[in-house]
């Protein structure tokens, strides 16, 4: 593997889980914003007006003041999470219709209480919205997260711009390669089909300007499950897509060793998460580990040699509704060994499930409502 390609995560030495998990990602983003020459593009789901949001926002504003052209693509639906969770302050001020406010209040009752009080406001976001070198495009039903600097460096994965990722199992991948940036552009525009033989390839769920959508991640991941020869490791924030579960049941039946690292308590959708893992555990021989740390990574490792990672969870919203971006990585031994070392640390810090009863503490009614919300996807 070239040093141009690397995983962004804290050191694996010392106490585990490490503190400030997202710091290597934000440090790199700030460093690149400080030295970017011509253009920067940020495609983001959640961007919160907290310490991390302000840090990135200030670096964006400084770059814009130097004359750098900044393009920000921001999801509208994520405003629901921004106003319900944590400090309840989206980075960018945007008028929320009264009906949406009512819906958010109702949905918010199903969320854990994570309120954090702080003194941040939306003035910096307003400054960026009004800056002549900054364009902000609002999109819907996306979950993609990436940064592109001078059409040279791509940073992508599952970390939103918000403080709470410092305490999650999460990471990003940095690809310093103009050819890969061009490849991503072509893939997202639908100009070229995906090639699963490439060492690094992009798979996209996309909503096109024509009104049409293409969802290629789900067929690809189901194909990878079918083709697995020895083992599948799964570490994703949210589960629940029935066909994904059925494919794992079939894989286990033919002798594939399946290991799942699962959050003891997810930040949202905990009941549907537990319903999905309980159903899978009851139907297949799978090894499940529970971790007290919230898993926000979206990672599948096949046969210890092929990594499938990015923004896409294995639930209905991500696989069937949302625009997502995933990376397929193979024949890149250094980055794959790095990921395997990270996996080993995470599993070692977790507790193995020995009975389905340990996964049965969910409310079936709430799980059904959470699954229905994903199917309807009213955002």
pLDDT one-digit tens code per residue, 110-121: 888 999 999 999
CA 263 to CA 298: how far, in whole Å?
A: 12
Q: Which CATH number fits domain 5-183: 3.40.50.300, 3.40.50.2300, 3.30.870.10, 3.90.1110.10?
A: 3.30.870.10
Beta bridge partners of 323: 142
In this structure, are residues 312 and 300 in contact, taking their beta carbons and an 8 Å threshold? no
Please identify, in words, the CATH class of the domain defined by 194-376. alpha beta
pLDDT class of 210 with cuts at 50, 70, 90: low
pLDDT class of 109 with cuts at 50, 70, 90: confident
CA 242 to CA 235: how far, in whole Å?
A: 17
CA 18 to CA 167: how far, in whole Å?
A: 8
pLDDT one-digit tens code per residue, 163-180: 999 999 999 999 999 999
CA 141 to CA 166: how far, in whole Å?
A: 25
DSSP state letters, 69-138: EEEEEEESTTHHHHHHSTT--BSS-----HHHHHHHHHHHTTS----------SHHHHHHHT-TTEEEEE
- Spatial CA neighbour of 358 closest among 281, 301, 298: 281
pLDDT one-digit tens code per residue, 268-318: 999 999 999 999 999 999 999 999 999 999 999 999 999 999 999 999 999
**Least confident among 136-145, 211-220, 302-311:** 211-220
How much is the pLDDT for 48? 98
Q: What is the sign of the dihedral through the CA atoms of 240, 85, 353 and 236?
A: positive
How much is the pLDDT for 211? 66
**Least confident among 85-99, 127-141, 153-167, 199-213:** 199-213
pLDDT class of 212 with cuts at 50, 70, 90: confident
pLDDT class of 209 with cuts at 50, 70, 90: low
**Predicted TM-score of the model (pTM):** 0.96
Query: Could you give the residue range(s) of every CATH 3.30.870.10 domain in the chain?
Result: 5-183, 194-376
């Amino acid at each position: 593997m070239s040093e141009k390609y690397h995983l962004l995560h804290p050191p694996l030495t010392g106490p585990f889980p490490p503190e400030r998990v997202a710091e290597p990602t934000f440090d790199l983003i700030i460093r690149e914003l400080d030295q970017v020459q011509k253009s920067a593009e940020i495609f983001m789901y959640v961007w919160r007006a907290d310490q991390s949001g302000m840090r990135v926002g200030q670096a964006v504003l400084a770059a814009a003041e130097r004359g750098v052209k900044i393009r920000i693509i921001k999801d509208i639906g994520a405003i629901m999470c921004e106003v319900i969770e944590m400090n309840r302050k989206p980075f960018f001020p945007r008028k929320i219709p009264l009906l949406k406010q009512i819906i958010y209040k109702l949905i918010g009752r199903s969320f854990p209480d994570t309120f954090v009080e702080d003194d941040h406001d939306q003035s910096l976001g307003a400054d960026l919205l009004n800056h002549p070198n900054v364009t902000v495009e609002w999109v819907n039903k996306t979950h993609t997260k990436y940064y592109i600097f001078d059409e040279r460096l791509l940073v992508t994965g599952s970390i939103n711009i918000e403080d709470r990722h410092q305490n999650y199992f999460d990471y990003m991948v940095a690809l310093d390669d103009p050819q890969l940036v061009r490849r991503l552009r072509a893939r997202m525009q639908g100009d070229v089909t995906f090639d699963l033989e490439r060492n690094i390839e992009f798979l996209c769920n996309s909503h096109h300007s024509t009104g049409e959508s293409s969802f290629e991640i789900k067929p690809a991941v189901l194909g990878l499950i079918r083709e697995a020869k020895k083992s599948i490791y799964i570490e994703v924030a949210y589960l629940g897509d029935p066909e994904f579960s059925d494919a794992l049941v079939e894989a286990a039946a033919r002798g594939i060793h399946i290991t799942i690292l699962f959050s003891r308590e997810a930040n949202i959708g905990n009941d549907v998460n537990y319903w999905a893992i309980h159903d899978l555990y009851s139907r297949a021989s799978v090894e499940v580990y529970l971790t007290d740390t919230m898993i926000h990574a979206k990672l599948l490792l096949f046969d210890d040699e092929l990594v499938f990672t990015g923004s896409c969870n294995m639930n209905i919203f991500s696989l069937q509704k949302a625009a997502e971006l995933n990376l397929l990585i193979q024949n890149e031994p250094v980055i794959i060994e790095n990921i395997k070392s990270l996996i080993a640390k995470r599993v070692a810090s977790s507790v193995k499930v020995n009975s389905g009863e340990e996964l049965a503490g969910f409310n079936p009614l709430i799980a059904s409502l959470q699954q229905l919300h994903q199917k309807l996807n009213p955002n």
